Amino acid sequence: TLLDGLPQGTNAAGGDASGPNSLAMRGRTIYVAIGQGDTVIPGPPGSTIPNPNVSSALFSSVLAIHLSAAAERSTAGFTLSEQNRMTLAGGGKVTLSNGKGDKLQVELVVNFPDYVSEPNAANAGNVRNSNPFGVLLVDDFMYVTNGGLNRLFKVNLDTGSYAELAAFSPIANTSGLGGPPFVEAVPTGLAYSDGQVLVALLS
């Protein structure tokens, strides 16, 4: 284990554990997308509402983990404490040492909103959860797919500012297996080729 203690929670949709989703590496820096965790919970029938007792302020974010040369070669591992996670959520950097010459620094690159408002007939307070998934590094920017919001974001690595680059509409269900007439796009994987960002859709 390189780094233990990353945020994890039980998501409302499937009851599965949700935490680190994917990563990308440049030099000795690893960028890790942290998923939705337990940011939302079931509301009145047909709705989702914000979780008033979310277990971490670092869900729906991307962390940068900077390794020392010693840690890159071999390490006994590190653990983020609750205080470390609070420091990161506040915009601070955390430096960890395991007493064997290995050092590791963690910082918050971007923190997306945990959810967006999406009122429906069942509940005016209904929300749609954010779920950063894929991470891609190109020059001074990072591209992040958000499977919950069906969007692709472009993040400035120097400032942490971000903008929506693309939104993916529901896809017509032509499977012939029944189900709803449309399904969510759910952008997940990312790749880069010849000036183009390629996005895989789960559905």
Residue 69 φ/ψ, nearest 5 degrees: -60, -40
Which residue positions in the chain have pLDDT lower than 70?
13
Q: Which of 191, 190, 182, 186 is closest to 201 using CA atoms?
A: 186
Question: What is the end-to-end Cα distance of the chain in Å, rounded?
Answer: 32
pLDDT reported for residue 169: 96
pLDDT reported for residue 13: 65
**Which uninterrupted H or E stretch holds 29?**
strand 29-34
Longest dimension (CA), the chain: 59
Do β-strands 171-172 and 182-183 pair in parallel, antiparallel, or remain unpaired?
antiparallel
